[in-house]
Structure 1
Amino acid sequence: MGYVKTGILMAAMTALFLGVGYILGGGYGTVIALVVAVGMNAFAYWNSDSAVLRMHNARPVDAHTAPELQQMVMELAQRAELPTPAVYIIQSDQPNAFATGRNPDNAAVAVSTGLMERLSRDEVAAVVAHELAHIKNYDTLTMTITATFAGAISMLANFAMFFGGSRERQNPIAMIAMMILAPLAAALVQMAISRSREYEADRIGVQIVGQPLWLADALRKIQGYAARIDNDAAERNPATAHMFIINPLHAHARDKLFSTHPATENRIAALEALAAEMSQRGAPRSRPSAPRNPGPWA
């Protein structure tokens, strides 16, 4: 089902991309946009993980360089019935994390140094479980492809400022509208996808780790720090902001249409309600999430 949804998304974004090309260059613009769109689809599918990881200067780690983190990811992946993804660390004081990759067999989880320094092991485990839920749902492929197209459509629409469209179709009002609406349309798709899937990833992440309040506490802390600490790489690449568990930018605050994430307080409230429901059912506590061998994170 994940591939079907992704295919529909790619077709819709390609159509939007072709529309922009037609307005800017008529028939020739459509052909060029089609060629570029096909190339972008192929690149986004096969290189989504490496491209995003490079944007954020993520470095790979393993059982030798970050034994506790590697052990935690491996144990949680086993609970989620997933292959163990590659593990990366982002050098950023802002606590945050994201997952990327075209499928569970080719996925990666990246966490910031700030996340490991400022959150408890239980809270980090809940964050990792949330990211594994995105991998399990194939959200990583969809969101990365959306980010790629959103950035490309914005760039293509801005060309109108310099080229003015085809001679037969020069229309200042249409060109101005395209410069505004094309990036907006791409951003709306990106935002709608991210917003609808964060709640689901929270729910499945709780199933993996077994403790809703661990994730609630993690979200509360990350939101507080993200509002005060800049994430320079994310600011340079805002089209990837929707991939993080909490928006790494400082531009959003409320659960509205133009937010890349649902309001954090709404997510926390949903998790607290889930914790109360589990308590009433007498749900058993999960196994400890932290690795069995204590020691430094990395």
Structure 2
Amino acid sequence: MAEINMLQAINDALSMAMETDDKTILFGEDVGHFGGVFRATSGLQDKYGRDRCFNTPLTEQGIAGFANGLASNGMTAIAEIQFADYIFPAIDQIVNETAKFRYRSGNEFNVGGVTFRTPYGGGIAGGHYHSQSPEAYFTQTAGLKVVVPRNAYQAKGLLLASIRDKNPVIFFEPKRLYRANIGEVPDGDYEIELGKAEVVREGKDITLLAWGAQMEIIEKAADMAAKEGISCEILDLRTLAPWDVETVATSVKKTGRLLINHEAPLTGGFAGEIAATIQEECFLYLESPISRVCGLDTPYPLIHEKEYMPDALKTFEAIKASVTF
């Protein structure tokens, strides 16, 4: 075990994937000798050569199209989109090609070896072009898996599982935790199963559900609620597509309440899909309406970032409102 931060864990996972599979190719804007804007790929070009870790032109659509081409020829393609905000020019390739490749051929050919890595979310004063959380755009696209880790340990295990999965995966990395989250991570090779939520803390009064950077937010809110005598069960969804309905429903049937927290805007956010499904699964068990604590329906603000963020205090107030409904 080693005490490392999330960036180091991601770098370790990428190195391990390249070491164990010589068909693994890593590419993106400035990922080569420079190591990427956050240095997530530092040292990998020196270790594995310029043929396996290299820079691309500044064209996200081209990066995604190139990834599809590599994977369709049997390579394992790891493509970095420098910021999640920049993924939109690549949507045509990802949604209309990556996701549908297997289906249009009856599985005669596929691009299951593609993983798109991209840092998402706010909290770093990045303004409206470097702070968005676009995960929900991709959860409604059949053929894609969507994964978000919450800490260094999860990042390494989930990233290795994503790279080795036989389906295309979009791996959103919470950039405000890149260097802020430090934890014990095994030195060796390990994977965390995709599609499985984790019960992080047991509780009996309300279920709190989040993913990525918002996990630390709901944990802080749960600690505040505990001082009021409210027992919170905390779940990390981890994989948004396909998401673990069974684990969430089991928790809600126990607690009778559900609060979903995510950084993306409220309208069209993935919390709405979760809420709709859980009210179908758990309607007779619910003691109060399902609550959503999310970002605002506005372009991500720079000067008002703190007001925008669904923080622990907003979550704590929503917990109290749900329990006293």
Q: Which has the larger share of helix?
A: 1
Q: Which has the larger share of strand?
A: 2
TM-score normalized with structure 1 length: 0.29
Of structures 1 and 2, the one with the larger relative CO (CA 8 A, separation 6+) is 1
Structure number with greater Rg is 1
